[in-house]
């Protein structure tokens, strides 16, 4: 199997993190000798906020619950550090929470080129807003307040959805649109079939 570079796109609550965990398990079982690198920016922001060691951590802690988009430079610092320490041209690479904007997608291009990862697969978990609202309310995470949920849905529509259009015109890129409202198991099966892993 050639090394995959897969970006998961979808609103918060669409199940990206869950599907990455399931896909990672399958990939590791099929090729135990190849590393699978999973970079989830949201998780890294939450870990940073939990430290509360200095101005940056305090600022992220204060703004995380608002649902506002964190600054581009900090997102790049977090996933850039993960690339630096974990990515090489031969590993499978699974990304969630980046790129969040077209500007960030352009920055990501430099990292992909550096690690010789020309071919990209975009898995778009298209999920109705009513469904993701219900899912986020159910998971009861501290930063899933009603106002932050609405803020995140707004910036997803305004900032992240244009990223899909960006990737639809990028060479060497496959965009796979899947129904994220299905059950976890059904979405997982759809992903495996789309990637020819089933």
Domain ranges of the chain: 5-193
pLDDT of residue 167: 97
In the chain, which stretches have pLDDT less than 70?
none
Q: Which fold has domain 5-193?
A: Rossmann fold (3.40.50)
pLDDT of residue 196: 94
Query: Residues 6 or more apart from 86 whose CB is under 8 A from it?
Result: 35, 37, 39
pLDDT of residue 143: 78
The predicted model scores a pTM of 0.93
pLDDT of residue 118: 95
User: CA-based angle 171:30:193, to the nearest 5?
Assistant: 55
- Closest listed residue to residue 94, CA positions, set 141, 31, 35, 142: 35
């Amino acid at each position: 199997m050639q090394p995959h570079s897969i970006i998961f796109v979808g609103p918060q609550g669409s199940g990206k993190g869950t599907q990455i965990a399931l896909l990672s398990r399958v990939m590791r079982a099929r090729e135990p000798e190849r590393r699978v690198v999973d970079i989830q920016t949201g998780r890294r922001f939450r870990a940073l906020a939990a430290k509360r060691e200095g101005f940056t951590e305090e600022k992220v802690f204060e703004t995380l619950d608002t649902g506002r988009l964190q600054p581009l430079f900090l997102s790049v610092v977090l996933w850039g550090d993960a690339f630096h320490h974990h990515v090489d041209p031969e590993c499978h690479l699974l990304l969630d929470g980046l790129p969040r904007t077209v500007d960030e997608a352009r920055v990501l291009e430099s990292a992909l080129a550096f690690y010789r990862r020309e071919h990209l697969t975009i898995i778009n978990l298209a999920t109705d807003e009513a469904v993701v609202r219900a899912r986020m309310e159910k998971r009861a995470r501290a930063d899933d307040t009603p106002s932050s949920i609405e803020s995140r849905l707004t910036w997803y529509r305004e900032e992240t959805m244009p990223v899909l259009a960006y990737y639809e015109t990028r060479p060497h890129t496959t965009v796979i649109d899947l129904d994220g409202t299905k059950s976890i198991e059904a979405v997982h099966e759809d992903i495996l079939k789309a990637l020819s892993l089933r």
